[in-house]
Structure 1
Amino acid sequence: MYEEHPAGFAGAVLWRSATTAGAAPSRVLPDGCVDLLWSSRRGLVVAGPDRTAHLSGGGPAERWVGLRLPPGAGPAVLGVPAVELRDRRVPLADLWGDPVVAELAERAQTAPAEVLAEVAARRLRAAGGPDPLGARVAAALAAGTTVTATAAGLGLDPRALHRRCRHLFGYGPKTLARILRMRRALALARAGTPLAEVAARCGYADQAHLTRDVRDLAGVPPTALLPR
């Protein structure tokens, strides 16, 4: 079971999922985002930006509620650079301390979605909002703009863009561009576009290039990620 809806601020998304004991793990694809999570077994956790697919579940039954922050907004909410959380699942108490998180965890037992959205919105306001550069970089790269052209359009040299991207997204602009291109390609394929056409429209050299890139990032070829 999985469902999601807008959280009501800054492009964040609230989602819920539940797994049964022994169910096959689900494949969570990288997206350049940081998630603030509540688990019925693990409490409050932060999921950092992944470079490759993360396999979730496969153990005891578990309920999850998550707040997916828009690309680049994680550092403003959590108070740490995204690169420090890359490919990691970290207890929130490790970042904010036990006293603060203990109170949140107690409230989250009965209303996890409300608690996650409330604390994230409050911290985002206190930080003055997300760094606007994050949305601009993500939009440019998602549209297929090259890293060099993106840096020039933002008035940054490539090294400065790389540093800012590691802070905001957890990895450099080339990795972010690959991830966003993969997600665009899969969205087109899931809507019924043939893979050869997807490859051409998304800037891959050919369908074989698309397949290799998706396999590198997702762990499986694109056909395994499409509806049967």
Structure 2
Amino acid sequence: MYQERNSSVAPGAVVWTQRWDTDAGADIRVLPDGCMDLIWTERGLLVAGPDTAAHLVPVRAGDAYAGVRFAPGTGPSVLGIAAWELRDRRVPLSELWPQRRERELAERIWGAADRTAELEAVAAGAVASARHGRIRQDRVPEAVLGGVWRRLTVREIADELALSERQLRRRCLDAFGYGPKTLDRVLRLARALDQARAGLPFAQVASLAGYADQSHLAREVRALAGISLGRLLAGDSAG
């Protein structure tokens, strides 16, 4: 069973948990969302980088996960690594932070009465360290997200930031793991899925989300999610 709630550790952050009491019978399909996650499992702490396509996670009965999902552009400053270095990857936290520190944090979470709350506290500590100047704060991610939301072109976003398109792409790779065009595709997919799950006709979803037409929507869903929109909404996780 999957559950999530908003978190106060950082703007747009979400705390989530998932547990399988019986075999799911198929891998779980995790869709790209431009986010980075700090995840606790019984095998330790790991970081999920930003995906460019659906990631399939094999599950077994009894598997349990808890995670803090950082909003697009937020994770790198908290975790201390450029997003592109973790693109389409899941890595142990011990590869990013000192092994002793990771081991102490994992043991602390394991021994807590509420492991999800303890993981959230770990994430809050990392955010506090970043805010105290350990990592330089950057205004570019917020500006890029705003530009994508307003459906500006890459050139228009770059002009607003007084950057060249090459400079903008480099800054986006650090913050999001990919350039502004891919970021736009990923975030547009999320908007489209929200609208489709609300019951809107696919043609209307395509128009509202900014696709050229319903065929364009269908191609993008299959390219990013790996299956059709209909199967995705029906809960076909493995495909």
Shorter-chain TM-score tier: over 0.9
Question: How far apart, in 2, do the equivalents of 1:112 and 1:169 lie?
Answer: 28
Q: State the alpha-carbon separation in 2 of the partners of residues 58 and 126 from structure 1.
A: 34
Q: How many residues align?
A: 227
Aligned ranges for residues 62-73 of structure 1 at < 5 Å?
Answer: 62-73=63-74
- Number of the residue aligned with 2:50: 49
2-side partners of 1:78 and 1:68: how far apart? 12
Instruction: Give RMSD over aligned pairs.
Output: 1.7
Stretch deviating more after TM superposition (51-60 or 124-133): 124-133
> CA shift at 1:56, angstroms?
1.8
Correspondence 1:213 to 2:220: yes
Structure 1 residue runs without a partner (length 5+): none
Corresponding residue for residue 2 of structure 2: 2
Question: What secondary structure, in the 3-state scheme, does the structure 1 residue paired with 2:67 have?
Answer: strand
User: 2:124: which partner in 1?
Assistant: 121
Partner in structure 2 of residue 30 of structure 1: 32
Cα separation, 1, equivalents of 2:115 and 2:145: 29
Q: Structure 2 counterpart of 1:197, which letter?
A: Q
Letter in 1 for 2:73: G
Q: Distance in 1 between matches of 2:115 and 2:47?
A: 14
Distance 1:222 1:164 in 2: 32
SS in 2 for 1:96: coil
Is this contact kept in 1: 2:76–2:174, CA < 8 A? yes
Q: State how far apart, in whole Å, the 1-side matches of 2:83 and 2:57 are.
A: 21
Mean Cα deviation higher: 217-226 or 148-157: 148-157
Between the aligned partners of 1:30 and 1:217, the Cα distance in structure 2 is: 7
Matches of 1:59 and 1:139 in 2, distance apart?
40
- Alignment equivalent of 1:226, drawn from 193, 215, 233: 233
Q: What is the distance in 1 between the residues matched to 2:169 and 2:95?
A: 27
Trace 1:102-117 onto structure 2 (pairs within 5 A). Answer: 102-109=103-110, 110=112, 111-117=114-120
Q: TM-score, normalised by structure 1?
A: 0.93
Question: How many angstroms apart in 2 are the aligned matches of 1:142 and 1:64?
Answer: 31
Q: 1:187 aligns with which of 187, 194, 197?
A: 194
With 22-31 and 129-138 compared, the bigger mean Cα shift is at 129-138
Residue 16 of structure 1 corresponds to 17
Partner residue, 1:170: 177
Structure 2 residues without counterparts, runs of 5 or longer = none
Q: Aligned residues: percent identity?
A: 49
Q: Kindly state the Cα deviation for residue 21 of structure 1 after the two structures are TM-superposed.
A: 4.9
Q: For residue 127 of structure 1, give the secondary structure of its aligned residue in structure 2.
A: helix
> Does the CA contact (< 8 Å) of 2:9 and 2:127 recur in 1?
no
Q: 2:9·2:123 contact (CA, 8 Å) conserved in 1?
A: no
